[in-house]
Structure 1
């Protein structure tokens, strides 16, 4: 069986719903830990703007999970009370299901994703996660606006969001691209490439992870439709 990664996004519009979602950042942890067949999981908040920035987006929260296979992932996410409550409270929700093509690094001291490389050449998703050293935080966040502006203006990116499991210090970017060439063109030029050079030269991160995924399915909508609508996933 190929491990499946699911990433669910929830948008909460009312004050009551946002308060509930914020409280669930703590209350949902023991519930997730007891779900049968769940693997690695993280509850995340999100940042405003394109990518992420210092200002949180109190409307959007995310849950990342891993499962033994797609059938189990969709069955549990579709029937378990926790995920049902999130969908009920949210004004909109969207879940994308992924297979890991490649991964390097660690997240909270573990390797969360099991890679099963294939020859898929279509759309792909990229997840990066970094634990920023406190002494380099100012330089890191100083580079973020330029990177966020570039990715926001890139006509090729199909979906992008910044999330994080610890505010300011533990940051995740997730993006979907039509092909590897468009993703590489963004990564190797401009502010993003400059920031990567600084990461290596100045040792910004305590821990980092980079993962590349094949898109296998999705459920729900974001902004009124599936972000995968413009592309053929399977």
Structure 2
């Protein structure tokens, strides 16, 4: 079987719905742990703007989970109560299903992703996760806005967001690109390339993880559409 990772995003509207979502960062932990077949999982908040800021966004939350295969992932996300409660209260939701193709590093002391020996043919998703050393936090967050602006201007990026378990200290960046060449070009140049070099030289992170995924499927919408629709149009042309 090939491991599948689901990353579900939920946008909440009225303040009551947002307050409920905030409480679930703690209260939903028990329900997540009891879901059959679930492996590694995390409940995350997000940052304002495109997510790459230290200011929390009270409207957007995410759930990441690993599953033994795609069919199981789809079934659990459709039927399990914790996901249904999130969808019932959210104004909009979108889940992307991912097949790990490479991973190095750790998240909460474990290696959560099991890469398959497949060559991605189509959109490529990239996830980076880091625990920032407390003494580096101000320096780290002065770099991130520059990276965010470059990502936002990149015509190739299909989807981008910053999420995390704990504001300021735990940071996850997630983006989807049309192909590996686009990812490589972005990663090696400009503010992102400078930040990566600083990470290596100055030891910013106590723990870090870098992973890439092939996009297997999706459900729902974000901003009223599929974030992958540009890819679909290209394939149809």
Where structure 1 has 5 or more consecutive residues not aligned to the other structure, the ranges are none
Q: Equivalents in 2 of 1:11, 1:207: separation in Å?
A: 29
Instruction: Give the TM-score of the pair, scaled to structure 1.
Output: 0.98
Pairwise mapping of residues 18-29 of structure 1 onto structure 2 (< 5 A)? 18-29=18-29
Of 136-145 and 116-125, deviating more is: 116-125
* CA deviation profile, 1:121-159 (whole Å, cap 9, x unmatched): 321000000000001111111101100111011111000
* CA deviation profile, 1:88-129 (whole Å, cap 9, x unmatched): 100000000000000000000000000002122321000000
1:142 equivalent in alignment to 2:142: yes
Q: Equivalents in 2 of 1:36, 1:84: separation in Å?
A: 15
Secondary structure at 2:216's aligned position in 1? strand
Mapped contact 1:121–1:180 kept (Cα < 8 A): no
Secondary structure at 2:165's aligned position in 1? strand
The corresponding residue for 1:165 is: 165
The corresponding residue for 1:98 is: 98
Secondary structure at 2:151's aligned position in 1? helix
Mapped contact 1:50–1:149 kept (Cα < 8 A): no
* CA deviation profile, 1:68-106 (whole Å, cap 9, x unmatched): 111111111101111111001000000000000000000
* CA deviation profile, 1:180-233 (whole Å, cap 9, x unmatched): 111111110000000001001100000000000000000000000110111149
Secondary structure at 1:57's aligned position in 2? strand
Pairwise mapping of residues 206-217 of structure 1 onto structure 2 (< 5 A)? 206-217=206-217
Q: RMSD of the TM alignment (CA)?
A: 1.2
* CA deviation profile, 1:15-55 (whole Å, cap 9, x unmatched): 01000000000000011011111000000000112341111
Q: Count the aligned residue pairs.
A: 234
